[in-house]
Structures are given as structure tokens and as C-alpha cells.
Homo-oligomer: A and B are copies of this chain.
Amino acid sequence: MVKAADRAKNPARSSVWLEKRATRGGGGPAGLDRDRIVAASIRMLDEEGLSKLSMRKLATELGVTAMSLYWYVDTKDDILEYAMDSVYGEIDLAAVDAAADWRDRIRLLALDYRRMLVRHGWMSPSAGQYLNIGPNAIAVGQKIHDTVAETGLSLDRRPSAMSAVFQFVYGYGTIESQFGRRAAEAGMSQDEFYVDSVNAFRDDPDLTEQVEGLKEILDERTSHDSLSVIWDRDFGYALDVLIAGIEVMVAREAEAPDGTRK
């Protein structure tokens, strides 16, 4: 077991997944174990949000004192890393295998990834902060990697294609989920919250002056469909763009193979 203070001294090894550690078993008086701790954290994170999770509250939820948790875990960050990897397990890799070709596979992966980010609003901020090399996260990465390989793109182009697609999904899911979180905090539906925000904008002379023209677009967008429809549609369109782009790059490589490419 590694104390938090020691962990900080060697940040290169600062992921739970890079420490060889014994899983400490849960036969104790309180019936605690790491799985129960992680499951409870996920529940609380989903309900209350990242900033509201504290060791003391989590412990209370489990009928235990804060310091008991430290028997199973070195730091609070560890709990978050475990929780994140557990959530990565929600991505249905079997369904991806069943898809017809790489285009559908990318769409499925992207959609599932996005859903995961939106369902668990604390994931986006956390995912940017930790290494994400737990077993489930790696399985997802591997699947993404294999899928991109199927496109026929040359080896040195694959990482950028992966980036283009999945960093987009990360960014999109982040915005979408933060928007949902804000709406929820304000006690409104997303549509109400959107209208409210646009109005706040319109009431501010400095802002409306600067973005003249933008307001009409905002209005137009929600006049026909609800926000959730728009989120889905925009996401689908963006994936169209990305897939079309990959196809073009593959075709260009076929025309001018290896090195002869300008």
C-alpha cells in the first residue's frame, strides 16, 4: 500500500493501475470491499456530481467512517480512477463486433462513448485528468484501434483518425453533459434552460450587439425541434463528416501510395 504523500513524490507512477497492490478482501465487520466502495461512489457521483463527493459522505453512505475507506484505497483519486474504469465497461463492445463494417462500428462506438459521458457527468472532467489505463478503458481503446485499422488507412495516419473521431466525441459529450448538469442544477428541463439562457443573452445589450446575427440562429434552432433531437442530429451529421473525411484520405492513399504523396 502506498501513502498519498509517497505517491505524490513519483507522479510518473501516479495511477492506481500502475501499482501492484493486493486487493484487500472484505470479510471485515463492516462488510466493506472495494467493489462496494466503487459502486457507491458511482451512484453518488451520478446523483450529486463530482464536487459533492467527499470521503466522509461516501463513508456515511456505506455506514462507516471516512478513514475506513483508506484500508481499501490509497487516495480519493484512486476511487475516481476505479469508478471511471468501471463506467468504461458500459460500452458494449460485443455490439460493435456485430456491426456490418467499420463505418457502423465507428458510429456505434462513438454513440456509446457519448452516451456514457452524458450519463455520467463527472466523467468528462475526470477523464481529462487521469491516465485511463484500467482494463475496461484499454479494451475500448483496443477496439477503437482495431476499427480504425479496418478502414485501410496507413499506419501513420491511424492515430490522427482515431483522434479526430474520439476527441470530437469527448468534446461533444463534455459540452452536452455539462449543459444537462447546469439545466438540472437550475431545476429546469434542457429546453427551458436553453430558452432561458438565450433570453439572458438577449437582455444584455453588450452581448447582443457583439453577436448580431447569432441570436436568430439560436432561435431558429429550437423553434422546430427539442434540444435532445438537435443534440442527436448534430452528432450524427458530425460523424458523417468524419467518416466521409476518412474515406477521402483512404482514397487519396490508394491513388498516390507511400511517399509519392506530396
Which residues does A use to contact B, with CB under 8 Å? 10-14, 17-18, 20, 124-125, 128-129, 131, 133, 135, 138-139, 141-142, 145, 155-157, 159-161, 163-164, 166-172, 174-175, 178, 182, 185-186, 188, 193, 196-197, 200-201, 204, 206-207, 210-211, 214, 217, 220-221, 233-238, 240-249
A240 to chain B, nearest CB (A): 7
| Set of chain B residues within 8 Å of A238, measured between Cβ atoms | 160-161, 163-164, 167
Q: Is the CB of B242 within 8 A of A248?
A: no
Q: Is the interface of A mostly helix, strand, loop or mixed?
A: helix
In the complex, what's the smallest C-beta–C-beta distance from A93 to chain B, in angstroms?
Answer: 13
Contact B138 A211 (CB under 8 A): yes
Q: Given the interface contacts A124-B128, A207-B138, does A234 sit within 8 Å of B174 by beta carbon?
A: no
Cα distance, A193 to B15, chains bound together (Å)? 14
* Min distance, Cβ A183 to any Cβ of chain B, angstroms: 8
B142 & A174 in contact (Cβ 8 Å cutoff): no
Least distance between A39 CB and chain B CB atoms (Å)? 22
Task: Tell me the bound Cα distance from A173 to B168 in angstroms.
Answer: 11
Min CB–CB distance A194 → chain B (angstroms): 11
Bound-complex Cα distance A125 to B125 (A)? 6
Q: In the bound complex, what is the Cα–Cα distance between A171 and B162 (angstroms)? A: 12
Kindly list 16 other residue pairs between chains A and B, CB separation below 8 angstroms, not including A131-B182, A156-B233: A11-B185, A13-B200, A125-B128, A128-B128, A138-B211, A142-B211, A145-B214, A160-B238, A164-B238, A164-B242, A167-B169, A171-B171, A240-B249, A243-B245, A244-B245, A244-B248
Cα A217 to Cα B144 in complex, Å, equals 14
Assess whether A166 is in contact with B159, with CB atoms less than 8 Å apart. no
Measured between beta carbons, the chain B residues less than 8 angstroms from A133 are: 201, 207
- Give chain B nearest CB distance to A50 CB in angstroms: 10
Are A160 and B245 touching (Cβ within 8 A)?
no
Q: Which of A14, A241, A242 has the most CB of B within 10 A?
A: A241
CA of A185 to CA of B242 in the docked complex: distance in angstroms?
A: 35
Contact A128 B178, CB 8 Å, known A13-B200, A142-B211, A238-B160: yes
Nearest-CB distance from A130 to chain B (Å)? 9
Residues of B within 8 A of A241 (CB): 160-161, 164, 242, 245-246, 248-249
A-B contact pairs, 22 of them (CB 8 A): A12-B182, A12-B186, A12-B188, A12-B196, A12-B200, A18-B204, A124-B128, A125-B128, A131-B182, A139-B210, A142-B210, A160-B234, A160-B237, A160-B240, A161-B238, A164-B242, A166-B171, A168-B171, A171-B171, A240-B249, A244-B244, A245-B246
